[in-house]
Structure 1
Amino acid sequence: MTIVSTGTSADSAAPTTPSALATPSAPADSVGQGVGPLLRAWRVRRRMSQLELALRADSSARHISFVETGRSRPSEEMVLRLAEHLDVPVRERNALLLAAGHAPRYPHTPLDDPALDALRAGMERLIQGYEPYPALVMDARYDVLAANRGIAMLLDGVPESLLAPPLNAMRLTLHPQGLAPRIRNLREWRGHLLAQMERQIALYRSTALRELYEEVAAYPVPEAAAAVEQADSVPYFALPMQIEHEGRTLSFLSSVATFNTPMDVTVAELAIETFLPADPATAKYLHSLVN
């Protein structure tokens, strides 16, 4: 797995390999709580009644009530079934199993473990094959684990203090010394990113993610940041990130991909973000950099 080196340009950036890869910190779960209150918290978070959950999990509202109040100890199979229907993240499913007195089901394999060699190689080929368009790999805290030369091009000119590992995508984008001053539709794009983080915080009970959100949400918005006039531009079908680069405005549509049915905590928390040119001028310029 590679990461863009600091202070490089799109023409000369040679990715470097970090000595170790960051592992997301454990969520701030409720220490000492039994599985009942934890399951109830997830059910309430999902706005689901006991009866609805029971019907989905092929159980009864009475049994769900007994589990939540501690009158019944759920089996490992029942914990996993309820977690599946409550869309509980893989990391938190382990916490539920432990709270119920069962062993964790899902391993947490370090990303640099040989067992994940094929996964790392596949993601590397994916983001490199996406060039000259930007693409990166992030963990659940938005720390950048890998990036291609398209990303290096966008980061050209960012102070080295922000490029010191671990790089963080949200911090790089919204920091007043990062990409923020160059994003023409910063207010809109900032609102999109903060809303995305809020959804993640609702899904993952992570103190680190909450602290990151509070940090980047407090960054001042430059006075010049205003909504971009779209009258003379193409009619975008999704909100683009419009960013200044060497005197021109580049427009990108962002897409985030995750792995289907992950069976490992590390893999479950990986996300691949790709930036597709939103107009012909952006695509033409990016291709000119490699010709």
Structure 2
Amino acid sequence: MIVVRRGNDDNRARRGDDDGRSWIGALVAVWRSRRGLSQLALAREVGLAQRNLSFIESGRSRPRRSTVDRLAEAMDIPARKRNALHVAAGFPPCYPELGLASEAVAPYRFAVERLLQVHEPCPAFAIDRWWNVVTANEGAVRFTALFGPPPADLLTGMLAPGPIREALENYAEVAATIMRRLRREVADAAPDGKLQQMLDRVQRLVGPLPATTGETGDLLVCPRFRVHGQTIATVSMIARFGQAREVSLDELRIELLYPADAVGEAFFRNLADAAVPRAALPGIT
């Protein structure tokens, strides 16, 4: 069972490595390694001489703020970790963390709510960095209500033993796909103790998966749910804000579930037609 543990790398980066590298130099080296880039490739991407990048990583020189920005962009570093990169270089954080309830975030919150609304009657969830459901549309409430009370988080709801897991005909494929995604998120977020704990816990819940998982020849792993004697094939897509300049928005993900065929489309429409008011259903908040 693979466990992703990146905390040691970031801890070394914060205090400088044993060879005396600066905080910023160690962090740049950690991220370059995570992205599988050579010094030469990264230097070319940001318009630096390889020697200059080597000096930054070794602590012989300190980058300008604009150079830190270019390095973060080239390595596609998340907003929260870009802040850490700037602080390590001696600059203030570049992105605020206002929270989704902030008035300044209201226009973008409206955009999320609009996306959830237009996705009806199919399920759509907005989740945070820890897979907590921030909000969901009516379609999501109706669908999850078929399996009992709403899960504490989407990750546990899909993978932990229970009604949703039992309804997934291709559980092993779905679990393997989600686990790969979670490992990537843990690596990018490290050190994030809560996310690492989620990975550890979910790996115990999932257990060993077949070695051939994912070798079906399908272009996508599409969750198939067995509901009321029908197989409901779905396609999952993830939406996010591009170039978000606020930490909470950068970490927000919209999980969109589409029907994969006419049977699934009819199922979600019929579920909406037969729906009772949302207040009478287990709520997702």
TM-score by length of 2: 0.82
Shift of the 269–46 alpha-carbon distance from structure 1 to 2, 3 Å rule, reads same
Q: CA deviation at 1:204?
A: 2.1
Residues 1:218 and 2:207 are matched in the alignment: no
Are the equivalent residues in 2 in contact too, given 1:236–1:278 (CA < 8 A)?
no
Specify the alignment match of 2:224 in structure 1.
242
Residue 198 of structure 1 aligns with an amino acid whose one-letter code is R
Residue 188 of structure 2 aligns with an amino acid whose one-letter code is L
Specify the alignment match of 1:188 in structure 2.
173
Higher relative helix content: 2
Shift of the 244–41 alpha-carbon distance from structure 1 to 2, 3 Å rule, reads same
Q: CA deviation at 1:185?
A: 0.8
Specify the alignment match of 1:32 in structure 2.
15
Shift of the 277–120 alpha-carbon distance from structure 1 to 2, 3 Å rule, reads same
- SS for the counterpart of 2:231 is strand
Q: CA deviation at 1:57?
A: 1.1
Tell me which of 188, 210, 225 is aligned to 1:203: 188
Are the equivalent residues in 2 in contact too, given 1:138–1:271 (CA < 8 A)?
yes
Specify the alignment match of 1:126 in structure 2.
115
Shift of the 157–221 alpha-carbon distance from structure 1 to 2, 3 Å rule, reads farther
Specify the alignment match of 1:177 in structure 2.
162
Tell me which of 134, 139, 145 is aligned to 1:150: 139
CA distance in 2, matches of 1:48, 1:148: 40
Q: Please tell me the root mean square deviation across aligned C-alpha atoms, in Å.
A: 2.4
Shift of the 245–96 alpha-carbon distance from structure 1 to 2, 3 Å rule, reads same
Q: CA deviation at 1:275?
A: 0.7
CA distance in 2, matches of 1:174, 1:56: 39
Structure-to-structure mapping, 1:1-291, within 5 angstroms: 29-30=10-11, 31-33=14-16, 34-156=23-145, 158=147, 160=149, 163=151, 167-205=152-190, 206-220=192-206, 237-291=219-273
Q: CA deviation at 1:159?
A: 5.2
CA distance in 1, matches of 2:31, 2:156: 29
Q: Which runs of 4+ in 1 moved over 3 A?
A: 157-160
CA distance in 2, matches of 1:103, 1:214: 33
Shift of the 36–49 alpha-carbon distance from structure 1 to 2, 3 Å rule, reads same
The aligned length equals 253
Q: CA deviation at 1:146?
A: 0.9
Shift of the 242–148 alpha-carbon distance from structure 1 to 2, 3 Å rule, reads same
Q: CA deviation at 1:110?
A: 0.9
Q: CA deviation at 1:157?
A: 5.1
- SS for the counterpart of 1:240 is coil
Are the equivalent residues in 1 in contact too, given 2:123–2:138 (CA < 8 A)?
yes
* Structure 2: stretches of 5+ with no match in the other structure: 1-5, 17-22, 274-285
Residue 265 of structure 2 aligns with an amino acid whose one-letter code is A
Residue 82 of structure 1 aligns with an amino acid whose one-letter code is L
Identity over aligned pairs, percent? 31
Deviations 1:30-55 (A, max 9, x none): 24331111101111111111122111
